[in-house]
Amino acid sequence: MSQAVAREVTVLAFAAYADRLGWRRRTVALDGAATVGDVVAQCRLLPGGSVLPPSPLVARNARFVALAEAVEPGDEIALMPPVAGG
C-alpha cells in the first residue's frame, strides 16, 4: 500500500515574527486550508500570532506569492517581516 503524503506544510518564521511566535520552524496541518492565506490565518491563532499583519510578506517554496496562492502538502511556507537587507 502506498504511503500517503501527510496533509501538512512546513512553516518558517523569521526575525521579529520568529521572536514573537517563539519558533522558527514548525509543521502545520492543512485542516481544510486551501491557500497560503489560510495557513497564515492558522498561524495567527497561535501564541504570539498577533504579530502577523493582515497581509504579511509570504513565500511558498522560496518564491514570493500572494496569499491567494494554493497550498499543497509538503510545501514550505515562509512568514517574513518587511525585508531589511543591504
Partner 1 sequence: MAESAAPWVRVTDQPLDVGALLDRVSGPDAGAATVFVGTVRNVNDGRAVTGIDYEAYEPMASRELAAIAREAVERWPGVRVAVEHRVGTLALGEASVVIATAHARRAPALDAQRFVIETLKQRVPIWKREHYVDGAWSWVDPTASSGAPVSSEGDAGLERPA
In the complex, which residues of this chain contact partner 1 (CB under 8 A)?
12, 14-24, 51, 59, 62-64, 78, 80-86
Which neighbouring-strand residues pair with 26?
11
Least distance in angstroms from the C-beta of 4 to partner 1: 28
Least distance in angstroms from the C-beta of 71 to partner 1: 17
Least distance in angstroms from the C-beta of 77 to partner 1: 12
C-beta closer to partner 1: residue 53 or 73: 53
Which neighbouring-strand residues pair with 63?
60
Look at strands 76-80 and 8-13 and give their pairing: parallel
How many angstroms separate the CA atoms of 10 and 58, rounded? 13
